[in-house]
Structure 1
Amino acid sequence: MRDVLTWREPAPPAGTMGEPLARGRFGEYGGRYAPESLVEACREVDEAFREAWADPGFRGALARLLAVHAGRPTPLTPARRLSEALGVELYLKREDLTHTGSHKINNVLGQALLATRMGRRRLIAETGAGQHGVATATAAALLGLEATVFMGERDIERQALNVFRMRMLGAEVVPVTTGSRTLKDATSEAMRHWVGTTGDAYYCIGSVIGPDPYPWLVREFQRVIGDEARAQCAAELRTGVPDHVVACVGGGSNAAGTFAGFADTPARLVGVEAEGGAGAARGRLGVLHGCRSLFLQDDDGQIVEAHSVAAGLDYPGVGPEHAHLRDLGRARYVTVTDDEAIAAAVRLARTEGIVPALESAHALAWVIRAAGDGDLAAGSTVLMTLSGRGDKDLSTLKELL
């Protein structure tokens, strides 16, 4: 079923995408639903992050790493041929051009620096598409830390290249054989492992999910995407601010970071989910992985398995701030099928010479559909975050095309 948008004026932006309310709440979402053994660990992360984020020395060190190691700022690329065909002005925020090939490095460098500041010597992470795992392994190697990455057995099979990259970088990759053997189960195993290792390990979560302070912390480390894009749009777009800001959403970190730069503007924010993993579009209120948000559930409240050709979108829920933005009417959440995403990836490759990650191709697929359906007015300016490059998905595309 396709989503048809009925546009309304954005809700008043005041107060959106700032610091969460007491107890890590974004409206009715968020919170710290953690086992007793992790409550103190989350509190320590919260205190350490607040102290670090207020420290110009910490932020300066992170900014330098993002520049000299990750390759920031990333460019804003006009998609000229595709724009002409669609009748809109499409600009791509090129997170695929960062070191490691996706936006994940922004968050991981921040959390790895925080872990070092806290005296932790080992990073724990979960990964689906493998990009967060690669970024974690990269940051660990750079800073002299150990890394243990949990990954679903199914994702290990379809993301073999990234598994090899993690191991080459020195990380231990732990296969997860329970449940759907994808991102949800990898996250569960990583959190269980953290319970017994809080004294020496830091849980480097990969998206805007999990117990407080992680949804806020990850969004702030990813805010660099939106802040850069805001300045680039002001310099390069005839309108200064794009009419639409679009990003793919699994847990939702690249979208949260992008939206944060435009929350106080008139830009319409659009999060694009996989048809088989539409937590924001079709989820129900529930608790999973330490936070209250929207999740795919059956009538008994049991989590329903998600599906997407893009491993990074194969998650049955959405971060709590996205659920809040949806309720406010500040952002819209729509879905795209596997076939639409694959077709969009091919089209971008053949019109702009860019092979996107299948996650990013979902966002592009919605832009293509919306331009054709009239949901995007002719001549609209559209900023789309291209969250990662498609090298990791070539074997999947080779089988499907």
Structure 2
Amino acid sequence: MAKPSPDKERQMLGLFLLPGVYLRVLADTVKRLGHDDRRLYEGLSFAPDELQAADSRVFVTDAIIFADRAMAMAGKDGLSFLLARELRVTIHGTLGFAALTSPTVGGALDSVRRYLQLRAPFLSLVMRDTGEHMLVQLRSEFEVPGLYHFLAETVMATLVMLAEQLVDRDSASELGFTLENGKLPGVTARLSCPEPAYYPRFAAQLPVSFEYGAEAEMMVFPVKFMDIRMRLADADASEMARSQCEFELQKALKEQGDIVLAIRNMLQLTPGPLPSLDVMAERFCVSSRTLKRRLADRDTTYREIVESVLKNRAIQLLRYTNQSISEIAYELGYADLSNFSRAFRKWTGKSASEFREDGPDPAPELGP
């Protein structure tokens, strides 16, 4: 497969484009904190005035650079909480409107879960009902070193601030959740990072407690909290907004272009073990059958793409690291060393130890 152009690689790495309004609000917040926001744009392909348009979009890869710079300048000032304050519901467009008009809190969270990737394509929400609590776990689809905790803290703070503003007080009280002093009773936000030095300055202003040093990034709601009505609930309007979100999502998927390259780039950014076909299909918001069909149209299968990525990754680890073969197998998601050994011999005609002893094969394939 021919190597795509740098612009194409850059676009596919981002998968979707990010709304420019988020970067504009981020830059404004950095500026209000007394920092030179012009430095955020250096070397990037857009200028401040280009982010003013409602339909402005930027590559996710550029957005990551932009956010990295913002964090370096103002992260210690509590940038995540200050930014969350500015991310009002109207900024999120149709997704915000779908959540705003949802009949219940549960419906609003489901809209966010389904369409979050339209606004933050490297993040996803997974909701799990334990019977007593609804766990809303935040996951990063790609490696974003140095930014993940900032993003998680910002998204969680944004969601709970909007919930505090938009839930119906009377409905909450009827279900045993009396909202007093801007607090959401029984709700917590958990992050795996250590508590930052700035948190105590914001704790009293937040509608929930943020607990640090947890095992994973998640929000915990009492299950009955999901039944609280939204203040502006309108089932018809919410359904119309969700339909528009669905249209935007399918349009974005089509505009990705090469589905094989999109999946391959996503897998390359995912640590092992790699996701199943069902998980990948959910990420692309299609059924596993549809994804199989789309790949068959390109004369390949999901398994072939996964094996190509695993082969390339194995070759790179054998070539450039001193990790043992068993460590490499484990890193690639193989619980059994013999399974990895068989796979590697099938890929290269050599055992992993022979490959390491004899010198590397030619450069890894660029794709299936």
TM-score normalised by L of structure 1: 0.28
Q: Specify which structure has the higher proportion of helix.
A: 2
RCO higher in 1 or 2 (8 Å CA, sep ≥ 6)?
1
